[in-house]
Amino acid sequence: DTGVSQNPRHKITKRGQNVTFRCDPISEHNRLYWYRQTLGQGPEFLTYFQNEAQLEKSRLLSDRFSAERPKGSFSTLEIQRTEQGDSAMYLCASSLRPTGGFSGANVLTFGAGSRLTVL
């Protein structure tokens, strides 16, 4: 178990460029989440996958953002036509669907994040 891995750790780009982040979750985890965190704030939910299905998307997520989890393993988050307001830390987390019908237990393990700076 190597934890949740995110790449790249830092990305500096110019406004209008596209960027892509990758997340490799803990191997046995079937749930994967993307969150965004700006300075001085708590993480904000962006989207959630169970296996390869994208089951929830935040209303905050504009159509410039797209996420995939093609084989239910790693995930990518792409931001098209970046804007300065997209500058943030993009966090990936994973969790294991609990057994025994305990629907509340959904303990998240976060990666170290990918910091995006849009100039």
Partner 1 sequence: GIQVEQSPPDLILQEGANSTLRCNFSDSVNNLQWFHQNPWGQLINLFYIPSGTKQNGRLSATTVATERYSLLYISSSQTTDSGVYFCAVPAYSGAGSYQLTFGKGTKLSVIP
β-sheet bridge partners, residue 110: 93
Find the Cα–Cα–Cα–Cα dihedral 8, 13, 19, 25, rounded to 10°.
20
Question: Whole-number minimum distance, CB 21 to partner 1, in Å?
Answer: 14
- Cβ atoms of residues 78 and 67 within 8 Å: yes
Judged by CB under 8 A, does residue 109 bind partner 1?
yes
Among 12, 38, 56, 85, binds partner 1 (CB under 8 A): 56
Among 15, 17, 38, 55, binds partner 1 (CB under 8 A): 55
Binding span for partner 1 by CB under 8 A among 14-22, 71-79, 80-88, 100-108: 100-108
Quick one: tokens of 58?
């935040």
What does the radius of gyration of the chain's CA atoms come to, in whole angstroms? Answer: 14
Which residues form the interface with partner 1 (CB under 8 A)? 31, 33, 40-45, 48, 55-56, 58, 89, 91, 93, 103-110, 112-113, 115
